[in-house]
Amino acid sequence: MNSTTVTVTIWSLEQTSPADLRPAAVPQGDDIQIVRAEVPSPEFSRFLYASVGGDIQWTDRLPLSYAQWEETLGRPGVETWVAYDRGTPAGYVELDPQDDGAVEIMYFGLIPAFRGRRIGGHLLTYGVQRAWDLAERWPERAETKRVWLHTCSKDGPYAMDNYLRRGFRLFETKTEEEEHAPTPGPWAGAQA
């Protein structure tokens, strides 16, 4: 069996003060609500992960067992914020606090049908605000001193622009060779 590799560029970006955030406008005419999924649910989180990342080759969490999903989602301070369009999940942002006062935006994105409607900037703004005030909801966590994320050349064409427009600054760029895998999609034939 022949395997092919692709070169992937990975960019790491950060904010070091709440004042760095440049908020996006709230989408006009849409009934977008952003709600925290307060009960950790492997089923729901896996649905969001596969639905948002299926067409851009998010695969790192696919092999996790149910127990591993529970462990990841149940750590103190891990939060999932979900954007809904008239009751339908449109995308999400997952926050992962670290012991040094940093909060990583572990996952962020929109389900393909909701892209291109200016929801992404609004959801990212909201997620960054929740990263900065995370210690208010989790007193055992250190006050947030830094919010960071990484994106890569496999992500959508507007991802990097959205991060830069929200006030993130690039602090590291690296490239890796990855095995090329067929796009999994949220389920077989989903993009057909």
Per domain, the residue ranges of the chain are 7-179
Cβ-contact 48, 82 below 8 angstroms: yes
Long-range contacts of 125-129 (CB under 8 A, 24+ apart): 125/21, 125/23, 125/24, 125/166, 126/34, 126/81, 126/83, 126/93, 127/81, 127/93, 127/95, 128/15, 128/21, 128/166, 129/18, 129/21, 129/23
Q: How far apart are CA 16 and CA 87, in angstroms?
A: 34
DSSP-assigned letter for residue 182: -
Q: pTM of the full predicted structure?
A: 0.91
- The pLDDT value recorded for residue 184 is 56
> What topology is assigned to 7-179 in CATH?
Aminopeptidase (3.40.630)
Residue type, 169: R
Cβ-contact 95, 107 below 8 angstroms: no
DSSP-assigned letter for residue 137: H
- The pLDDT value recorded for residue 125 is 98
Q: In what order do the strands lie in the sheet with 102-110?
A: 32-36, 79-85, 88-97, 102-110, 146-152, 5-15, 169-179
Cβ-contact 9, 152 below 8 angstroms: yes
- The pLDDT value recorded for residue 56 is 86
Cβ-contact 73, 40 below 8 angstroms: yes
* Residues 6+ positions from 125 with CB-CB distance below 8 Å: 21, 23, 24, 166
pLDDT tens sequence for the chain (192 residues)? 456 888 999 999 999 999 999 999 988 877 899 999 999 999 999 999 999 998 888 888 989 999 999 999 999 999 999 999 999 999 999 999 999 999 999 999 999 999 989 999 999 999 999 999 999 999 999 999 999 999 998 888 889 999 999 999 999 999 999 877 665 555 554 444
Helix axes 42-53, 66-74, angle to 10 degrees: 90
Q: How far apart are CA 86 and CA 88, in angstroms?
A: 6
Reduced to 3 states, what is the DSSP secondary structure of residue 156? Answer: coil
